[in-house]
Amino acid sequence: MRILLVEDDDSLAQAVATVLSKQNYVVDVAADGEAGWELVTVCNYDLILLDVILPKLDGISLCRELRREGYQMPILLLTAKDSRTDKVMGLDAGADDYVVKPFDFQELSARIRALGRRGASPLPPVLEWGNLRLDPSSCEVTYADKTLHVTAKEFSILELFLRNNQRTFSRSAIVDHLWAADVDPPEDDTIKSHIKSLRQKLKAAGATYDFIETVYGLGYHLKPNPQKQKSQVSEKESNPTQQEIFLAAVAKAREDFKAKVGSRLTVLEQASNALKEGLLNSQLRLHAEQEAHKLAGSLGSFGFARGSVLAEKIEIILQGKTPINQSFLSQSFHELVKELRQELEKTATDEEIFSEQRQNVLLIVSKDKQIVEQLVKEATTAGMHVDIVINTADAKSAIESSSPDVVLVEVNFSDHTQDNLQLLTQLASRTPPIPGLVFTDGNNFSDRLEVARAGGRGFLHKSMSAKQILELVTQALQPIGTTEAKIMVVDDDPRVLSVIRNLLEPWGMKLATLEDPHRFWDVLAAFSPDLLILDLKMPDVNGIELCRMVRNDPFWRELPVLFITAHAKANTVDRIFAAGADDWISKPIMGSKLITRIFNRLERIQSIKRFYTKISL
């Protein structure tokens, strides 16, 4: 890949060029916007790295001019940390992405790889042609799983052929793509030597000598129609019942939790003691903050809801800008840690903490005692927990406190206030929405229209039996069955990863879990998931940045992304969806909710695929 870097800071430009050259990119450097424009007009670039503030012609103006003249190569802006206006103007001018200075080189490389995969047709992160496999992120080349030890220039030639596998390249075209503008171009014999060396290395690995074919009078290209490899997927042999799956998953999660959570609490107690003695150093403070953050996100998954709240308060104190060695903060911190220990000891032996997780929660809003009693009986038999209120005010409080999975609302259409219809609207507008169903004596068109407009998910008549109503309520929950979907989970807390693995694997799902987000792109490419779960807050690289990387890549931009976060504030949710997320769920993770959300998203994908399959027939 040939890259143009337009940057007036010579030391930074040379550093970037050196790093990228080590990754087998060809980099030309221009010190101002006009010089960058001149290079673009005479050379073919696959990508442009463009500083915003430049002499002679600024980066935004250059970007706008390139797009006006029809240049379609990806453009990545390099912009100052607080220049929000520059980012907006640059993207509006036609830039594809941006990184903020000072930037991390690993992030820059990942964004370049993502943009480099854009084109007329999406290309996978790992390039393949038959048995030949080239990984741009690790600079590894294999044929039939045998490593090819290629030179940097040989790697670049193979990558050029793979990214343009339908094209024939002349020797001069190879030079134009792979040699920098300030370097004397090689002789034709040099290109011939590189091709010969590649052929010999491919043949030694098992390829035919003409894997790279010569098209006489034109140049070289990859031999067409290579034999493609097929992956083998094992079949699940048994389908346990939903209750067996969930019970086994929760039991294992609880067992792992009990064995490991004590070490985190110990760190908080060490920080508390050090603070009391005036010996809390920055290293222990940071360690305690990280452990408190992880506890806040994981405790509630095991029924320690109060513990999760306490851990979050501890985290907030440790994050505070004000020094925490003041006496009142020291005492507050000590009491919180002490209370957290007591809460865990009190709750950890209570087997009933998991019963809530094994049940979906149904909220019934109705004054009709007879129907409610019948519904409660049916719901209990079906293993569903039921909360009952008689008015919308109580319903709103119950929704905030118990977070029901589905709400069944009685509506009397002769009552012109229709507060319960307004409740349906509020349920539908939540993020994520809560299914709201109506049961009523009404049955005409206008009644049904009002429910549809309010966002209702079901219109049920009171003449139905309680069993029929519960069946439709269950359908609104989109009950889940087993699947072999591939789920990738990125979270810096191994306890959370363990919880999710124990919840999902019994359903037949295949999981790839990752603690280190710096390995994200490699794992994503190798695992090829059907759904991605991202933690919002992680060290160095956060979930929003990972989501943007996914959305920036044509091959992965349709991948469903679900966030898990302990910080569900409105502006946080806005940022999550602005980054391209499909859904989110708050920590502490409730098993039934997580599973329902995952299967809901997978079911929607399957429905879309079925729809397009039908219209294509």
Give per-residue pLDDT as tens, 311-334.
878 887 887 644 554 555 667 788
pLDDT, tens digit (0-9, with 9 covering 90-100), for 140-193: 889 888 888 888 888 888 888 888 777 788 887 788 777 766 667 787 788 888
Identify the band that residue 513 occupies on the pLDDT scale cut at 50, 70 and 90. Answer: very high
Q: Residue 52: what pLDDT?
A: 84
Spell 322-331 as b/e; 16+ CB within 10 A means b.
Answer: eebeeeeebe
- Does residue 536 surpass a pLDDT of 50? yes
What ranges do the domains of the chain cover? Answer: 2-116, 127-222, 242-352, 361-462, 486-616
Sequence-distant (6+) residues with CB within 8 A of 400 are none
Share of the chain above pLDDT 90, in %: 5
Which carries the bigger pLDDT value, residue 85 or residue 275? 275
Instruction: Please tell me the least confidently modeled range out of 125-134, 313-322, 398-407, 580-589.
Output: 313-322
pLDDT, tens digit (0-9, with 9 covering 90-100), for 524-534: 888 888 899 99
- Does residue 227 surpass a pLDDT of 70? no
The domain at 242-352 falls in which architecture?
A: Up-down Bundle (1.20)
Q: Residue 357: what pLDDT?
A: 41
Mean pLDDT of 493-505: 83
Identify the band that residue 255 occupies on the pLDDT scale cut at 50, 70 and 90. Answer: low
Mean pLDDT of 486-501: 88
Q: Residue 302: what pLDDT?
A: 56
Identify the band that residue 80 occupies on the pLDDT scale cut at 50, 70 and 90. Answer: low
Mean pLDDT of 87-116: 75
pLDDT, tens digit (0-9, with 9 covering 90-100), for 283-303: 888 888 888 876 775 565 456
Sequence-distant (6+) residues with CB within 8 A of 88 are none
Q: Please, what CATH class does the domain formed by 361-462 belong to? A: alpha beta
Mean pLDDT of 591-603: 72
Stated as kind and residue range, the H or E segment containing 513 is strand 510-514
pLDDT, tens digit (0-9, with 9 covering 90-100), for 541-590: 889 999 999 988 877 888 899 998 876 677 788 888 888 888 888 877 76
Q: Which residue has the tokens 């919840």?
A: 503
CATH of 486-616, one of 3.40.50.2300, 3.40.640.10, 2.60.120.380, 1.10.10.10: 3.40.50.2300
Q: Please, what CATH class does the domain formed by 2-116 belong to? A: alpha beta
Sequence-distant (6+) residues with CB within 8 A of 260 are 495
Residue 288, Cβ density class (10 Å: 0-12 exposed, 13-18 middle, ≥19 buried) = buried
Q: What is the CATH number of domain 127-222?
A: 1.10.10.10
Q: Residue 182: what pLDDT?
A: 60
Could you check whether 361-462 and 486-616 share the same CATH topology?
A: yes
As a whole number, the mean pLDDT across the chain is 77
Rounded (5°) CA angle 268-271-272: 85
Spell 380-418 as b/e; 16+ CB within 10 A means b.
Answer: eeeebbbbbbeebeebeebbeeeebbbbbbbbebeeeeb
What is the β-pairing status of strands 75-79 and 47-51? parallel
In 3D space, the residue among 421, 453, 467, 426 whose CA is nearest the CA of residue 440 turns out to be 421
What angle separates helix 327-347 from helix 242-276, to the nearest 10 degrees? Answer: 150
At 616 the three-state DSSP class reads helix
Identify the band that residue 243 occupies on the pLDDT scale cut at 50, 70 and 90. Answer: very low
Is the Cβ–Cβ distance between 330 and 324 less than 8 Å? yes
